[in-house]
Amino acid sequence: MKKLNVAIIGQGRSGKNIHGAYFRSEVNEHYNVKYVVDFDPFRREVAEKIYPGCVTFEDYRSLFDIKDIDLVVNATYSEMHYPVSLDLVEHGFNVLVEKPMGATEYECQKLIKTAEKMGVVLAVYHQSLFAPYYLKAKEIAESGKLGDIKQINIAFSGFSRRWDWQTLQKKCAGGLYNTGPHPVGMALGFLGFDKDTKVVYSKLGSALTSGDADDYAKVILEAPGKPVVDIEVSSCDAFSNFTLKVQGSRGTLKTSLSKCEIVYIVDGENPERPVIEASLKNEAGEPIYCGENLIKHTEEIEFKSDVFEAGAMTFYGELYHKISEGRPMSVTPEMAAAVVKVIAEVHAKNPMPVKFL
């Protein structure tokens, strides 16, 4: 099996510790990191050690004259995702760009159309759409076990603060642009990436961040005939205890990264009770609360695989076959563009004060 030659642009946390971790792992059977780009000489020196034989550059444009690159991974700063990817695509490279692929829907569509025109592969690293807990939750929701799905809650929250570039609006950063693509992508997945999805409520705010970008976001989505999806990305939730919850007419599912819990009822085991208009009372004639103990079933599912490793392995496996054989990918650039469309709309409706130019 022929390995694809890869060039990575950026050796920050994403380029080195996410994409790089996959490339250096034993599960990587398809890729060979041959070139690395970073403006920091120390990072280039480290790259030459962890990718033996690779050639490093300070400027990504040094790649333009190299003919044996099969894939360029764009792990630059977020505000550079669009312009650098566009430049690469226009020079005929297959590109995998980190999230968000752009700041606006226009930028995303421009990238997609340019890639189509140039006949190259454009992919966006939405690996969380392959996370075991998300796929299982989606499978159960679609199975009918929980009945008619009414509401989905997705929370990527905690109690912490940042003071790096990811807190600056000028860097296309903040909680919703940085972390948000994960839950927003999942939310749209539950809605079938319906083109009629609407943002029915949204709010951005600042809680603990030192910058001027959001670190609190609430977004509620709806689509015709689909459940309500409530998304939260917060830095001020010290009691966040779930990642994803699905409420249906016959049960509820709650899942963390490592465990899924389900409580549900089965048709026929709890016969419908006739409506009683009069006030309820016990045998002694005293008023009582209307309640009962439903016959319920519970299930637990443990996820043994690491959520990040599982997502990376599946995503990069599909990307290999896309580049090598033209097979379609489960996660398309159009889906990534839909995620950015939601995020950009929320920002437009909730402008944050600019403090850092």
List, as one string, the DSSP characters of 164-190. Answer: SGGG-GGGT-SHHHHTTHHHHHHHHHH
Q: Please determine, for residue 306, whether its predicted confidence score (pLDDT) is greater than 90.
A: no
> Could you tell me which residues come within 8 angstroms of residue 45 by beta carbon, excluding any fewer than 6 positions away?
none
For tokens 């709650």, name the residue. Answer: 254
Q: How confident is the model at residue 3 (pLDDT cuts 50, 70, 90)?
A: very high
pLDDT value for 72: 98
Q: Please determine, for residue 51, whether its predicted confidence score (pLDDT) is greater than 90.
A: yes
108-158: pLDDT as tens digits: 999 999 999 999 999 999 999 999 999 999 999 999 999 999 999 999 999
HSE (CB half, 13 Å, CA atoms) of 65? 3
Q: Please determine, for residue 1, whether its predicted confidence score (pLDDT) is greater than 80.
A: no
- Residue 49 falls inside a structural domain: yes
pLDDT value for 308: 82
The residue-averaged pLDDT of 306-326 equals 93
For residues 125 and 18, give the distance between their C-alpha atoms in angstroms, rounded to a whole number: 11
337-353: pLDDT as tens digits: 999 999 999 999 999 99
The residue-averaged pLDDT of 77-97 equals 98
Which residues form the domain of 63?
A: 4-126
What are residue 294's phi and psi, to 5 degrees? -65, 150
Asked whether the whole model's pTM tops 0.75, one would answer yes
- Residue 41 falls inside a structural domain: yes
- Residue 217 falls inside a structural domain: no
pLDDT value for 304: 87
- Residue 234 falls inside a structural domain: no
The residue-averaged pLDDT of 66-85 equals 98
217-274: pLDDT as tens digits: 999 999 999 999 999 999 999 998 889 999 999 999 999 999 999 999 999 999 999 9
CATH number where 85 lies: 3.40.50.720
Q: Please determine, for residue 30, whether its predicted confidence score (pLDDT) is greater than 90.
A: yes
Number of domains in the chain: 1
For residues 346 and 335, give the distance between their C-alpha atoms in angstroms, rounded to a whole number: 17
CA 198 to chain centre: 18
pLDDT value for 127: 96
Q: How confident is the model at residue 305 (pLDDT cuts 50, 70, 90)?
A: confident
Cβ-contact 100, 181 below 8 angstroms: yes
Percent of the chain with pLDDT over 70: 100
Q: Is the peptide bond before 287 cis (omega within 30 degrees of 0)?
A: no
Q: How confident is the model at residue 6 (pLDDT cuts 50, 70, 90)?
A: very high
- Residue 119 falls inside a structural domain: yes
- Residue 214 falls inside a structural domain: no
- Residue 317 falls inside a structural domain: no
- Residue 50 falls inside a structural domain: yes
| Full 3-state SS string of 49-80 | HHCCCCEEECCHHHHCCCCCCCEEEECCCHHH
pLDDT value for 21: 96
Q: Please determine, for residue 65, whether its predicted confidence score (pLDDT) is greater than 90.
A: yes
Q: How is residue 50 written in tokens?
A: 């962890």
